Amino acid sequence: MIVLQGNAISKSYGESVIFSDISFNLHERQKIALVGRNGVGKTTLFKGIMFPETLDMGSITYAKNIKIGYLEQFNEKSDVTLMEYLLESYGDIIDLRNTLTRLEYEISQTSIESLNYQKLLADYAEITYHYESLNGFSIESQIKGISNGLGFKKDDLNRLISTFSGGEKSRLSLLKLLARNPDVLILDEPTNHLDIFSIEWLENYLKSYDGAIFIISHDRSFLNNIVTGVYELDDKSLKYYHGDYNFYEKAKLEELKIHHKAYEKQKKEIEKTEAFILKYKAGTRSKQARGREKKLEKIVRLEKIPQKKVINLKASEIKESGNLVLSVSNLTHYWGEEKILNEVTFDIFKSDRIGLIGKNGSGKSTLVNLCLGNIQLIHNNVKIGSRVNIGYFEQNHTILNLERTVYEEISYHFDLKKEEIYSILADFMFYQSDLDKKISILSGGEKTRLALLIILLKKPNFLILDEPTNHLDLDSQKIIMDYLQSYSGTLLIISHDRYFLDGVVDKIFLLENKQLKKFSGNYTYYKEKSLEIQRIEVEKEKNVVLREKKVKEKSSMSKSKLREFIDEYEKEIVEKEKLLKDLKEESCNIAPSNYQSFELIGKDIGQLEESLESLYSKWEELNQDLEDLL
């Protein structure tokens, strides 16, 4: 069943056409990605789905009685607790709950003999059935589960909204949306402001989600693990690909190759025909020439696909640092009275490629800023190695002066000729029309690109990058990743992008419970190892519980009960010993040529010997327990 449909829709801003005459379908339980470069109109399309009146042409239709949930900006409500804020999504259920409370009171106040009593019971039964069908009894439990998965603690549910940080508030809209479990989810960058562990939780939640999902995301791993189809918005049109993001990427590349080959072939044929017409139009073969000219006029000419505007990054030569790049020993740090870091110790050596991960608020950025000297140290716990030139990309782009233009910013940092600045900016997708733009009006992706450009032009041999892929589209992320793969310096990267980490780092530093744990390998390897460690710990815990249970059971036994068990084991041992003796005697009488009988009786003897060994062990254990009680 189609739950959401767009038919021949168009949208323009002035003379700028965003998309034209596009159509799409979303079926129930289907999980589809909407992809395309930054600025092509993905968010505009989603807003058009939710608010069709904003579209210029076409129609949006929804299946009957379908509930649609749209991830929108957080609406500030400072005077309510988190639980109260989330319960607002369940207005109809809360109304039913209040009605049930009222009916309970009326029933308790009404005599059984009253004519109204049976009617009240019938109303109560009917509303209870409706309330249960909406999972009314479990909404608080559902809220707790989802809030925990998105990084909120149990105590947070009783906090006023006004006490949450900006990053926490940005997660509240997603939390409120998921809590109500709509039939269709329209999600625009749902992983923004989530840490790597919350992203994995959300990913697993959406994979098993029973409704339909239409999603925009710049997280390749996230898309690959969730979606089964991709709509690409490109050049004002929409095209569908059946498969995950990797399938789409390969199919798109193959399409471009085929189109380019067909374009080049047609181009050669046209040039050959035009040369023939020019040569013979006025000669003896003019009739042929005119015929070819008419055919040429009817040809549907293939368009040359313009090359995508992408960052042009070239790895530059950098000066080598000393072998020890950064040394941190017993670093402890407080935020007010709260301890953030506890005796953190690590060394980073030349050419190390490290991914620093941890939950939001675990202290990753604080640790980096302590190492850089941006936060004052109480003790001299940090040492920078010799010949180390640090380039620090900070996710809030503090390196940029918002009052300067793009051109002025590069000119301020580097003594370069105008033509050189133009060329460098063009490599990072800043063209003539962008040069006089103030940095304050640039998009998040543009600020990211400009900040990265300034840092890389300084040719650092130790790059510290705090969320470098934020706001970048998937193509730009891949280019940055390819650049870092060929970068010969030392890397320390804070990121929640698993695909990016897998492609760049070979060590993982996990900041957890105020301490640092180190793992060899990329993120996927770390995840496999941590799951294995987790499994071993769970197994150990099970064994401890079983042992404690066994001890408890034994300690509650009386001496007479233990003797009773010992007697039973002794009887079973005597019986099995006799049976074993008989089988061994029987085996001696079997002819060596009768392999089959010899093999069968040998198998029975082996099983009996194993069983006896177990009985001996249990008998000895019970005797020891009896001695302990004497």
73 burial via Cβ count (<10 Å: 0-12, 13-18, 19+): exposed
Distance of alpha carbon 162 from alpha carbon 165, whole angstroms: 8
Least Cα distance to 253 among 475, 516, 443, 427 occurs for 475
Which whole number is the average pLDDT over 515-542? 84
Distance of alpha carbon 124 from alpha carbon 96, whole angstroms: 10
User: Residue 533's pLDDT is what?
Assistant: 75
Chain segment 168-188, per-residue pLDDT in tens: 777 888 888 888 789 999 999
Strands 16-27 and 57-62: unpaired
C-alpha of 590 from chain center? 67
Distance of alpha carbon 500 from alpha carbon 519, whole angstroms: 17
In contact, 327 and 383? CB cutoff 8 Å? yes
Chain segment 77-111, per-residue pLDDT in tens: 667 888 888 888 788 888 898 999 999 888 888 88
Distance of alpha carbon 620 from alpha carbon 573, whole angstroms: 12
Q: For 538-577, give the secondary structure using H, E and C.
A: HHHHHHHHHHHHHHHHHHCCCHHHHHHHHHHHHHHHHHHH
Chain segment 380-408, per-residue pLDDT in tens: 889 999 999 999 999 888 899 999 999 99
Give the position of tokens 């040069």. Answer: 435
Q: How confident is the model at residue 437 (pLDDT cuts 50, 70, 90)?
A: very high
Chain segment 585-617, per-residue pLDDT in tens: 777 766 655 555 666 677 777 788 888 888 888
C-alpha of 173 from chain center? 17
Distance of alpha carbon 174 from alpha carbon 74, whole angstroms: 9
Q: What φ, ψ does residue 374 adopt, rounded to 5°? A: -75, -20
In contact, 97 and 131? CB cutoff 8 Å? yes
C-alpha pair distances (Å), 107 with each of 127, 131, 136: 14, 18, 21
- The alpha carbon dihedral of 572, 574, 575, 581 has a sign of positive
Least confident of 2-16, 105-119, 479-493: 105-119
Least confident of 204-213, 218-227, 473-482: 473-482
Which whole number is the average pLDDT over 126-149? 87
Give 486's contacts (C-beta < 8 A, 6+ positions apart): 315
In contact, 44 and 11? CB cutoff 8 Å? yes
End-to-end CA distance of the chain: 75
What does the DSSP 8-state code read for residue 136?
Answer: G
User: Residue 205's pLDDT is what?
Assistant: 92
Least confident of 3-12, 27-36, 495-504, 559-568: 559-568
Which whole number is the average pLDDT over 527-538? 80
